[in-house]
Amino acid sequence: MTRQTRCWSLLIVTTWFVAALSPAAGVLGDEVTASASEARVSVSINPAVIELRGVHGDSFERRISVTNGTASALRFVIDVQDVVIRDGRRTFEPAGVTSGSIAATAVADPPELILESGESGSAVVELRVPSATTVRAVAIFFRSRMSNGGPYGAAVGLNLASLVTFHLDGHSELSRRDLRIQATATGLIFTQTVSNEGEEPLFAEGFVALIDGRGQVRDRVELVRTRLLPGEIAELRGESLPQILPGSYRAVATVACEDRLLVDEAIIRLGE
């Protein structure tokens, strides 16, 4: 019988990539736990997101901790990659591939961790921002493999990551696209597409006010706070309550970014 190997990756960071390396994981988290099977696998990384501020040429050191809550010893190898935006979406590039790579400057001490069951360990990672770079984020991966206990010795790949963002001396600029509204059986879904047209990371957050023909606010829907890297496009989403009465409404979306407000509106007719 041929021996089979299966690889299952868990990509973690605030809620990230699973979603944690994803923009909607904008709210900072202190710790992220990943579970492949609630009873057998529990590993965590802390912090999940690190925000750094400085100028080109600065160096930074940060300590990152990992906890092994599984029943087996795990060996984690540290791998730092640049987070690069392509076509509005995040991608990962190995160190040195991208011009001005920050990942290429990374020095991890120690470069790997061996953790027994229930043990925690940490590594200090040093990063330097090149004098000329457009990179504004790296992902610090802790990569491991473990047996899933299957009959063929199949393996599970565990990939934890801490997202590190760099806010340097450039400008921030947020732009928006049309507000979209979708009626569903459970209410209204509002989607405001935004993009980071500046040089630095930023957060976008906001709300949608649903206003009736008499000018009264019938509902106020929060849009999920989202982190955007330069060039990144994201959708801010929110869902209203289902008990909105039939009629014509104005949906007014207000998106805040630092000290700037962006306003958009759309007309929606329900039950007509």
Residue 234 CA to residue 229 CA, distance in Å, equals: 10
- 8 Å CB contact between 239 and 178: no
Same fold: 9-167 with 174-270: yes
- Provide the residue ranges of all domains of the chain, joining segments of one domain with +: 9-167, 174-270
Determine the pLDDT at residue 39: 35
10 Å CB burial of residue 178 (0-12, 13-18, 19+) is exposed
pLDDT tens digits for the chain (272 residues)? 333 333 333 333 322 233 345 555 433 333 344 444 433 458 999 999 999 999 999 999 999 999 999 888 999 999 999 999 999 999 999 999 999 999 999 999 999 999 999 999 999 999 999 999 999 999 999 999 765 554 445 566 789 999 999 999 889 899 998 899 998 877 889 999 999 999 999 999 999 999 998 999 989 999 999 999 999 999 999 998 777 778 899 999 999 998 789 999 999 888 75
**3-state secondary structure (DSSP) of residue 42:** coil
- 8 Å CB contact between 234 and 225: no
Residue 161 CA to residue 236 CA, distance in Å, equals: 24
CA 140 to chain centre: 13
Tokens of 123: 């590594």
Out of 3.40.630.190, 3.40.640.10, 1.20.120.420, 2.60.40.10, the CATH code matching 174-270 is 2.60.40.10
Assigned CATH topology for domain 9-167: Immunoglobulin-like (2.60.40)
Q: Which residues face 121 on adjacent strands?
A: 66
Widest Cα–Cα separation across the chain = 74
Residue 172 CA to residue 258 CA, distance in Å, equals: 9
Determine the pLDDT at residue 194: 95
35 — phi, psi (to 5°)?
A: -130, 125
For CA atoms 42, 43, 47, 49, the dihedral sign is: negative
Residue 82 CA to residue 101 CA, distance in Å, equals: 7
